[in-house]
Amino acid sequence: MTTIALCQIPVSTDPSTNLKRAREALSRAEGADLAIFPEATLTRYGRRITGLAEPLDGPFVSGLAEAAREHGLAVIAGTFEPGDGRVRNTAVALDAQGELRAAYRKIHLFDSFGAKESDLVEPGTEPAVVELAGLRIGLITCYDVRFPELGRALVDRGAELFAVIAAWGSGPLKEDHWTTLVRARALENTMWTAAVGQAPNPGESSDGYGVGRSMLVDPLGVVRADLGTAPGVQVVRVDRAYTESARATLPCLQHRVL
């Protein structure tokens, strides 16, 4: 068993406020091996991200690392790194000693539904699987979840869990898209999937980012936990033995032709 804290927090434009909220969430994640935070935990989306982006040894990630050490658990969270004119939308993976184990740069940028993330963000190129808390974890960021080929690439790299982090945009059918896509990635890969989104932030809701609905989905696509829309921290458990049982029942990965 691996114990995971789904940390559904509202995200402010102020990085120091968000670091404080992350620390508070970690204090509520007692007993967890791994805490997962949303995409863009550093700051809300907007043109401000080009000025607020930090290197991975900057105060935000360093603060998360300090908190990881203090509480003795691994952390996955979204930040923005400075790039060449644009920023990188980066998921950092820290172990329980606060060491940076992986930095995944989002590959698929959200140039949809009237948004154009690529104006501000340069895309990554490489899928990432990182070993944390005794699991090999494939990292997926928001719009990435619409691309099943990324899930397959992570499976081929040995992933045992998908961690999906998001600042999902609100709008007609969008919440339904989120829940459907997260369950689909879990089911088609018979993979435990922990998906964490930003909680709605009523004080800064005009940009539409953050619908909540953080979930744990099992390898047969069953939702084991759903946080709804309110801010919260929920501790859940991932059982690798159940993955083996599910894959014996539904051996679709063995049946792949392409």
Note if 149 is an active site residue: no
Distance from chain centroid for Cα 73 = 16
CA dist list (Å): 209 to 11, 40, 171 = 9, 10, 10
Only one residue has tokens 């990554």, namely 124
Told to judge if 142 belongs to the known catalytic residues of this protein, a careful annotator would answer: yes
CA atoms within 13 A on the CB side of 238: 32
Q: Which of 7, 54, 81, 106 is catalytic?
A: 106
Q: Catalytic: 66?
A: no
Q: Of the listed 39, 81, 117, 160, which one is catalytic?
A: 39
Catalytically annotated residue among 7, 81, 117, 142: 142
Residue 253 and residue 188: Cα distance in Å, rounded?
8
Positions marked active-site: 39, 106, 142
